[in-house]
Amino acid sequence: MVELSALMIELGNIITFVMVVLALNLMAGFAGIPNFGMAVFVYTGAFVVGALSVRFALLLLAVLDPATLEALLNKPSYKPYVGDMSLVEIILFKTMEPTINRTLIPELSSIISQNLVLALSVLIFTFVVAVFLGVVVGVISSYAAVRLKEDYLAIALLAFSEMMVQVFFAQTDSLAGGRYAIYAPNMWPSELSSVAAALPLGVKPELTLGLILAIGLAALTYLYAERIANSPMGRALRAMRDDEFVLSTYGRDIAAMRLRVMMIGGALAALAGVIYAMNFQPVVKATDYTRLAWTFVPWAMMIIGGMANNLGVVLGAVAIYVGRKALEFALPELFDALKAVGLVTEAAAVDVIRAVAPNIFVGVLILLMLYLRPKGLVEEMPGRTLGDKLRELKEKFSR
Amino acid sequence: MGVVNLENPILRVTGVSKYFGKLKALDNVSVEIPRGAVTLLIGPNGSGKTTLVNVISGALMPDSGTVEFEGRDITRLPPHERFKLGIVRSYQIPRLFPGLSVLENVLIGRDGNPGEGMVSGILKGRWEEYETRATEDALAKLKFLGLLGVAEKKTSELSGGQLKLLEMARSTMSLKPKLILLDEPTAGVVPSLAHEMLALVKKMSVELGITFLVVEHRLDIAANYADYAYALHLGSVVARGRPKEVMSDPKLVEIYIGD
């Protein structure tokens, strides 16, 4: 029997992908910007949770409750790492040290949960800063998006993302742990946790709260994306994707449009990174935010679901995620069965196949879809800017 | 025929040359487009007509020479800025948005929609009225051009002639157009409809004061609706004047019939 909390985490992962794919669909499906750098946008959110919110919480604690901060950081076991650094220096440069981080975060988490002001401040800080940094990364990416043609742009964004996440952040231990895991702090005040704890679910109340927040944010993201799709902006974005030059001869500033959509898409993807790291994958490590997991899989979800169709890409996200998970669960049993009849003898081969099978599944699915249903599960539709009013207008003119 | 006033042209192209490698597409071309009139641009294939339209609309930068619009030098202005000044163009080979419906393609021709923003797009109250009016205008144009029945189809379902009509509809959607460049609008369109389209061009020019520069091959039809004409050959202006005069110019007759 699968535990409820495990199911809730899987649901949270699906919701994270739904948000990432909706953001990607705005940028690539609608606006035609081949964003192969999605990983850096998602990591930006996780980075804020793991690296910035901790420092913010500690700095705020220095103001609200200096004695507690002193007790928290002035530990003999930290001495070999921090020497005689000041508290602020420790906060800025040493909190991501694996040995310190491992003991600091659980203690900080319980302090945050007991302090309503601190908890709410950290929550707000995390979301505001993640949105801001998502916008900044979007602006940086659009700098290339304005100047490069599609193929070059795809490679440039892929390289940018890899360079930032897998090289810069993964190699800079003091910023966000580098190759070492750092932990996401709890940001929920006990006032809220105790409400969630009253629910007869038998899971950690923080997980319940996180899931509720994730569902709310994903729903808002979907509503936003649908509104845009059915607005004059959605139409202009699709026109830009089809032929940006012709659109420019109709008075649209392509550079400005790309900038705006990258800012919004970047902010949404960073928000997805926040809810993921905060609730469902609280061990933040730059090297986990790979191009496979956070760029190619979302692209596959979008292509299979149907580009420029929000419902389609959501279905694609759910289908791919569930399919991959099902394979991960089903394969060991299948191999046990094969072993039992003597068809498989090499244990190592089993591990290799288990690791690559979900990706082979995605690859085969993309090929099949492109062959059989190139427009995806749900195909692109004209924007319904006026809804049913259009039919009335058409009838008026048909007479 | 209206009186053509060349004193104060809306557009003045001076000494424009454009090379494609060694090919001289435009060779020191100077034209003045009379304000509020319909001007034809004629000439055999490869004479530089579309290149000139491209230079005027900003799709191509000339190697030398200047383009002035209402007295302002726009030689280096990007296309979207020229559109804002009131210069609109259509394409000889229709360049429509394949992912958009016919109606959506026409609506793109109307700029300034307050709903074209990543934030304002979700505030329907801000743009619904503008969108409704634009849609009414678009449907009226589609009806005139016989495209109302396919308004919600993708452009891939249209015939070549229908695509030309759609180009025409889209390029006349702008709210304050001053100069509309039509690149062979009637190519592939049945003659009776070609007459109607050019009559509409003439009507818009007379009633709304819009200036048209129309690239045309079908001189027999077009001459009836135009006020002025330029003939290009091998990248140079070889004749200019009233359409009937230009058509009967011995040089042009030789170019078309000779060789």
Does the ipTM surpass 0.85? yes
Task: Write the pLDDT tens digit of every residue in B103-136.
Answer: 999 999 998 899 999 999 999 999 999 999 999 9
Give the closest-approach CA distance of A214 to chain B in angstroms.
21
Q: Is the Cβ of A250 closer than 8 Å to some Cβ of chain B?
A: yes
C-alpha span between A314 and A306 (Å, rounded): 9
Percentage with pLDDT > 90 across chain B: 54
The mean pLDDT of A91-101, rounded to a whole number, is 90
- Are B52 and B143 spatial neighbours (Cβ–Cβ below 8 Å)? no
Task: Write the pLDDT tens digit of every residue in B141-192.
Answer: 999 888 999 999 999 999 888 898 898 899 889 888 899 999 988 887 888 8
User: Which helix (H) or strand (E) segment is B79 a member of?
Assistant: helix B79-85
Nearest to A250 among B108, B122, B151 (CB): B108
Say which residue, B16 or A346, is predicted with more confidence.
Answer: B16
Task: Give residue A256's pLDDT band: very low, low, confident or very high (50, 70, 90).
Answer: very high
Beta carbons of B107 and A249 less than 8 Å apart: no
Write down the pLDDT at residue A347.
67
Task: Write the pLDDT tens digit of every residue in A145-176.
Answer: 777 777 788 899 999 999 998 888 888 878 88
Write down the pLDDT at residue A170.
84
Write down the pLDDT at residue B168.
86
Residue B250 predicted with pLDDT over 50: yes
Say which residue, A195 or A121, is predicted with more confidence.
Answer: A121
Beta carbons of A249 and B79 less than 8 Å apart: yes
Q: Which residue of B has its CA nearest to A259?
A: B118
Beta carbons of B80 and A233 less than 8 Å apart: no
Write down the pLDDT at residue A348.
67
Write down the pLDDT at residue B245.
86
Nearest to A397 among B59, B131, B143 (CB): B143
Task: Give residue B1's pLDDT band: very low, low, confident or very high (50, 70, 90).
Answer: very low
Angle subtended at Cα A319 by Cα A314 and Cα A320, rounded to the nearest 5 degrees: 100
Beta carbons of A382 and B58 less than 8 Å apart: no
Q: Is the Cβ of A375 closer than 8 Å to some Cβ of chain B?
A: no
Task: Write the pLDDT tens digit of every residue in A26-40.
Answer: 999 999 999 999 999
- Are A77 and A83 spatial neighbours (Cβ–Cβ below 8 Å)? no
Kindly report the average pLDDT of chain A as a whole number.
90
pTM score, two decimals? 0.90
DSSP state of B220: H
Percentage with pLDDT > 70 across chain B: 98
The mean pLDDT of A192-215, rounded to a whole number, is 89
Report, in angstroms and rounded to the nearest whole number, the Rg of chain A calculated over CA atoms.
23
Task: Give residue A59's pLDDT band: very low, low, confident or very high (50, 70, 90).
Answer: very high
Q: Is the dihedral of CA B206, B210, B211, B214 positive or negative?
A: negative
